[in-house]
Amino acid sequence: MSEIQINTTQNVNINFTLSSVGERVVAHIIDLGIKIAYGTIVWWTVSSLYYDNGFMSDWDDWSVMSMYVILLFPAIFYTLVLESLFEGQTLGKKALKIRVVKIDGYQASFVDYLIRWFFRIIDLNMLSGFIALITVIISEKGQRLGDMTAGTAVISLKSKVLISHTILEEIGDNYKPQYPAVIKLSDNDMRIIKETFIIARKGKDYDTLNKLRVKVEEVIEMKSRQDTIPFIDIVIKDYNFYTQNM
């Protein structure tokens, strides 16, 4: 599978595996099936209320059609709403373990999802999705037109996750923490700190390490005399100690 390199807001390059065309097609089929099923239920319900002497039996055709369209709104806005709520995933994408992300390292916003949803008119609804299929195949980053416009890509979440890729850190039973103030950090802070620390240390990027140290000291509101690498390493272990024992 192809990979995409994303530069995070901490100026750290992280490689992600792009979702395959097959995964995106299957996810789309699942979502389409859900929308068709919902639309069928709406059609059956409205028809029953209109033709079977229900409360809509005396409505004119335009009123019935208006009710049908209103009830179809969840299906129409299905992708936009779910991607906004689930951070780039619909039920189909969740099933295939793929996600929409920004290629500039920032969190995708509602506007980004709105742009992708709007371009579905061209990408997926015209020529039965042929345009989307071709653009995803020929695009270097596996993007359809909506992705190109919104600056997004679809990545796979199936890669094997090791403990080094999470905020978790192996610490012994006799571990003694040194910085209680680390509890001021959030899980997301620690994830960013650990990712940046591992990559910068591996690449011997001491400038980034020093900037990371300054930022950590600002948040926990304390200074340390320890060298930068041991200091950050202890901060990560201390955070794990306190959060695992809370």
Please check whether residues 135 and 80 belong to one and the same domain: yes
> How do the residues of the chain divide into helix, strand and coil, expressed in percent and rounded to 5?
60, 10, 30
**How is residue 118 written in tokens?**
């709007």
Please check whether residues 75 and 174 belong to one and the same domain: no
Please check whether residues 168 and 54 belong to one and the same domain: no
Report the 10 Å Cβ neighbour count for 50: 19
Q: If DSSP codes are grouped into helix, strand and coil, which group holds residue 186?
A: coil
Please check whether residues 87 and 148 belong to one and the same domain: yes
Give CA separation, 226 vs 105, 203, 221, 242, in Å.
31, 21, 15, 20
Calculate mean pLDDT across residues 167-190: 79
Please check whether residues 84 and 205 belong to one and the same domain: no
Please check whether residues 110 and 167 belong to one and the same domain: no
Domain end residue (candidates: 103, 138, 156): 156
Tell me the average pLDDT of the chain.
Answer: 85
Going 25 to 27 to 32 to 33, the CA torsion angle's sign is positive
Please check whether residues 126 and 17 belong to one and the same domain: yes
- pLDDT tens, residue by residue, 55-81: 777 788 888 888 889 999 999 999 999
Please check whether residues 106 and 205 belong to one and the same domain: no
Q: Quick one: pLDDT band at residue 164, thresholds 50, 70, 90?
A: very low
Q: Quick one: pLDDT band at residue 14, thresholds 50, 70, 90?
A: low
Q: What pLDDT, on a 0 to 100 scale, did the predictor assign at position 157?
A: 82
Please check whether residues 62 and 121 belong to one and the same domain: yes
Range of the domain at 126: 3-156
Question: What residues pair up with 41 in beta bridges, in sequence order?
Answer: none
Please check whether residues 54 and 88 belong to one and the same domain: yes
**Cβ-contact 154, 147 below 8 angstroms:** yes
Please check whether residues 7 and 89 belong to one and the same domain: yes
Calpha distance 170→241 (Å, rounded): 9
Please check whether residues 207 and 110 belong to one and the same domain: no
Q: What pLDDT, on a 0 to 100 scale, did the predictor assign at position 241?
A: 84
Domain end residue (candidates: 113, 134, 156): 156
Q: Tally the domains of the chain.
A: 2
Domain end residue (candidates: 156, 191, 224): 156
Q: Quick one: pLDDT band at residue 159, thresholds 50, 70, 90?
A: low
The whole model's pTM is what? 0.63
